[in-house]
Structure 1
């Protein structure tokens, strides 16, 4: 027998190798583990995986994201009554291109997630924000003190309608007018006549004395009889909504203009996107106030002070159209922007126009 065989129990290199006996023992042990490890599993070969709870139609709610003005349709997945995940609505071309046919069963749509930007994803955080206002708050300290208290909704209605010394408990004895007091002119026909004659005074077709004589019985309803163009006291009510979505915006204007008789209804368009509405109206001779670029068929597009990846209406629906068109159709993109933005960095041409020189560039293109 060759005692120094490489197959002996000690092996080579001073016994540091593995012998046949050790190998067999190890193999038997590992094999046994593999045999018994399957005894604790909950599914056998060929058995279907458990159904994904968040993909069940009964756990899906469809709505609209209000994290920005794009208002993407969204799909909210719920788990035991709690919002667990937000994604885009696959029925919507804003979030899924091409979108699902509208006759797709909800059971199938529930399994398909469409795109949604990070701001939209943060809607869950907004919904469960512990500082989210859920009750009517009334000032509970001097102006600017940031002190508030919750009041019943009925009290809110009473104080808004009737007015009064609303902060007397804070040492403020001033009288705050309510809706009833400001709602001075409630005759629609009279309101129309006063407005028409006020325009006539402004145009010089009627003197101020003639106006006062004609409407002597109703001068108390005007903000200033010497300046009838200011309108009735109803204009003392201002609805300043800031960012407000369609549906709510139309209701707000209907209430403020038609019901209350005030001209002062202001919303998102007034303070943000008014410029492009005016541009569309002027460039089409007043035909339309709002347009959308057909990016899926456009061959060349100029992003002027905006872009598909930085700011627009909006990133979620627009970015995919641009990137897909660039890759699939050879869309060419130019960006006019003083700074090297994300859009400019990915464009075919970047025109770093100097601030204030936009007009010169526009005239040069005519």
Structure 2
């Protein structure tokens, strides 16, 4: 599928030539339509309900319930998938899972009872349906044709893809010849192979690590989204713990004061659903929250103090706090 076909399939949403004037014109029209549409809400609601029970998906015994785990991020929250005639129609939180409901349902709870118990899940989890049904989802191997960057691809069979990839890997599976005899630190030729797994989730990355690292022999066994989007907290915790890659298990509900630097626990991080719930529990109990962020994010809007520092001055503020604690002997 070439670039033009992708844009046509996406209905124009990938068009990067949308001007500011066009954008304002479209959004203004939508705002007007929303305002006018609100005045007909009662009529539209009645028409919608005339087509069937709006809670059918929630309560009907014709809906097949499948329990699983969400892989939209690394939180691994529980999901309750509702399937009608083989089609996934809705994803909800799993009440048996501690990320989604606190306290979670005992595991011996009757499934017919559990299906009626609401449990939370974030917008990304709800949008998991698009992982399956998005019209731009790639379902078959694509091979580039033409020049790199030209955006032209052809569909090939899985057998052809496996054969061509294996043929390219064979000469690189060399564990004795150095990449550069003058620089032994680069290791053997096998290290020329880099596996970039994209959104390689738990259960998948363990398998690919064994294959590329243990079997093939490259040290570049995984360059995934973790290397790009969350390396900072792994490195930070590594420095704080002497090498352990752990984000800890903060007892948020029982904290008296929380100082949050450079992230939004109510819109990001993981497990976001459980973390934001516990943070709100702390605030309800009288705990205090300070958020350090140039942007007034969601957590800052709920905090007792928002500290809008200049971007890049996080370390200076942290050192200033440490200096104040030492100078005033506030440590224990």
User: CA contact under 8 A between 1:222 and 1:228: conserved in structure 2?
Assistant: yes
User: CA contact under 8 A between 1:76 and 1:86: conserved in structure 2?
Assistant: yes
Q: Which protein shows a greater Rg?
A: 1
CA distance in 2 between partners of 1:287 and 1:271 (Å): 19
SS of the aligned residue for 1:322 comes to helix
CA distance in 1 between partners of 2:58 and 2:96 (Å): 20
Question: CA-atom RMSD, angstroms?
Answer: 2.2
Instruction: Find out whether 1:79 has 2:84 as its counterpart.
Output: yes
- TM-score (normalised: structure 2): 0.74
**Residue of structure 2 in register with 1:333 after alignment:** 289
Distance 1:54 1:129, change over 3 A: farther
Q: Could you list the runs of 5+ residues in structure 2 that have no partner in the other structure?
A: 1-54, 323-332
Distance 1:259 1:54, change over 3 A: farther
Instruction: Find out whether 1:361 has 2:303 as its counterpart.
Output: no
CA distance in 1 between partners of 2:162 and 2:232 (Å): 37
CA distance in 2 between partners of 1:139 and 1:291 (Å): 44
Instruction: Find out whether 1:156 has 2:167 as its counterpart.
Output: no
Instruction: Find out whether 1:223 has 2:179 as its counterpart.
Output: yes
**Residue of structure 2 in register with 1:118 after alignment:** 123
- Poorly superposed stretches of 4+, deviation over 6 Å: 50-53
SS of the aligned residue for 2:148 comes to coil
**Residue of structure 2 in register with 1:322 after alignment:** 279
Q: Could you list the runs of 5+ residues in structure 1 that have no partner in the other structure?
A: 1-49, 163-177, 186-217
**Residue of structure 2 in register with 1:311 after alignment:** 268
Could you give the per-residue CA deviations for residues 162-183 of structure 1, whole angstroms, max 9, x where no partner exists?
1xxxxxxxxxxxxxxx111111
**Residue of structure 2 in register with 1:99 after alignment:** 104
Distance 1:284 1:226, change over 3 A: closer
Matched positions, count: 267
Distance 1:360 1:52, change over 3 A: closer
User: CA contact under 8 A between 2:88 and 2:129: conserved in structure 1?
Assistant: yes
SS of the aligned residue for 2:112 comes to helix
**Residue of structure 2 in register with 1:274 after alignment:** 231
User: CA contact under 8 A between 2:178 and 2:184: conserved in structure 1?
Assistant: yes
Could you give the per-residue CA deviations for residues 242-284 of structure 1, whole angstroms, max 9, x where no partner exists?
3321111111211111110100122232222122122222222
CA distance in 1 between partners of 2:115 and 2:185 (Å): 57
- TM-score (normalised: structure 1): 0.68
**Residue of structure 2 in register with 1:144 after alignment:** 149
Looking at both structures, which has the greater relative contact order when contacts are Cα pairs under 8 Å and sequence separation is at least 6?
A: 2
CA distance in 2 between partners of 1:92 and 1:350 (Å): 33
SS of the aligned residue for 1:296 comes to helix
